[in-house]
Amino acid sequence: MNDSKKMVKRGLFIGRFQPLHNGHINSIKYCLNKVDELVIVIGSADKSFEFKNPFTAGERLEMIREAICNEIKKETLQKIFLIPVPDIGTHRLWTYNVDLLVPRYSIVFTNDQFTTMLFKEREIEIIHPELINREKLSATEVRFRIANDKNWKELVSSSTVKIIEELNGIERIKTIININTNHHHH
């Protein structure tokens, strides 16, 4: 058989990237070493301007693209698809909905237990990317630090800092938190 006809080995890396942080960048590098092409699924793409999901799918896409150009290398973009995928009402059908929106793939990279469970049920190969410094490196921690004027910039790449600042993301996160806390106290 002709070698050029060999199936491209394609993987799916799933996250919400709210926002993208250095742990994500390390995971993306890890995934790129294991496959020819990487489909980065931006989950909860329909959600934004809320506490767990402050940034829009488009904003998150921008963060990921910029970080890949700056932190990994620009040529890598040729091997990457960035695909926003909305949540759907039925969790169980979510992976099938993903399949309608992304190119074919043979591996799923995720550290989320729920996502793992759903794809395992379909007998799709799962790889858990290495997590670096998990207790400090999470999007929850980044959002918490932004909200509380703590040092969040050490957790994300400089291009992500720039985008969040341009979007008034700090103000946005604080405003959303204030709205939420006020609601809970009434």
Q: Express each pLDDT in 111-159 by its tens digit.
A: 889 999 999 999 999 999 877 665 568 999 999 999 999 999 999 999 9
| Per-residue pLDDT band at 89 (split at 50, 70, 90) | confident
Q: Per the domain annotation, does 30 fall within a domain?
A: yes
Query: How confident is the prediction for the chain on average, in pLDDT?
Result: 91
CA–CA distance, 183 with 179 (Å, rounded to integer) = 6
Task: Give the residue, 2 or 167, on which the prediction is more confident.
Answer: 167
Q: Per the domain annotation, does 2 fall within a domain?
A: no
Question: What are the strands, taking DSSP E only, across 77-180?
Answer: 80-84, 107-109, 125-127
| Per-residue pLDDT band at 186 (split at 50, 70, 90) | very low
Q: Per the domain annotation, does 3 fall within a domain?
A: no
Q: Per the domain annotation, does 162 fall within a domain?
A: yes
Count of structural domains within the chain: 1
CA–CA distance, 147 with 54 (Å, rounded to integer) = 12
- pLDDT over threshold 90, residue 14: yes
Residue 173 domain boundaries: 9-185
pTM: 0.89
Q: How many residues does the chain have?
A: 186
pLDDT in the model for residue 35: 97
* Strand arrangement, sheet containing 37-42: 80-84, 37-42, 10-15, 107-109, 125-127
Kind plus residue range of the DSSP H or E element containing 183:
helix 169-185
Pick from 53, 55, 29, 56: nearest CA to 40: 29
Phi/psi for 126 (5° steps) reads -115, 135
Q: Which residues of 124-151 are buried (b: 16+ CB within 10 A; e: fewer)?
A: bebbebeeeeeeebbbebbbebbbeeee
CA–CA distance, 65 with 117 (Å, rounded to integer) = 28
pLDDT in the model for residue 181: 67
CATH code, domain carrying 51: 3.40.50.620
- pLDDT over threshold 80, residue 6: no
Q: Per the domain annotation, does 29 fall within a domain?
A: yes
CA–CA distance, 29 with 172 (Å, rounded to integer) = 30
Q: Per the domain annotation, does 35 fall within a domain?
A: yes
Q: Per the domain annotation, does 108 fall within a domain?
A: yes
Question: Quick one: average pLDDT of 31-36?
Answer: 96
Phi/psi for 80 (5° steps) reads -120, 135
67: tokens are 């970080």
Task: Give the residue, 175 or 5, on which the prediction is more confident.
Answer: 175
Q: Per the domain annotation, does 1 fall within a domain?
A: no
Question: Quick one: average pLDDT of 2-30?
Answer: 89
